[in-house]
Amino acid sequence: MSIKRYGVGDSTGTGGQRLPFAKAVEAGGWLYVSGQTPMKDGEVVEGGIIEQSRLAIQNCVDIMESAGYTLADVVHVKVFLTDARYFQSFNQVFSEFFADHPPARVCCVADLVVDCKVEVDLTCYNAERVK
Question: So which residues are the catalytic ones?
Answer: 107
Which residue blocks in 1-131 are alpha helix, DSSP H?
49-66, 87-98
3-state class of 128 per DSSP? helix
Q: From CA 69, how far away is CA 40, in angstroms rounded? A: 21
Q: From CA 123, how far away is CA 9, in angstroms rounded? A: 21
* 88 residue type, one letter: Q
| Cα Rg of the chain, angstroms | 14
Give the containing element (helix H, strand E) for 88. helix 87-98
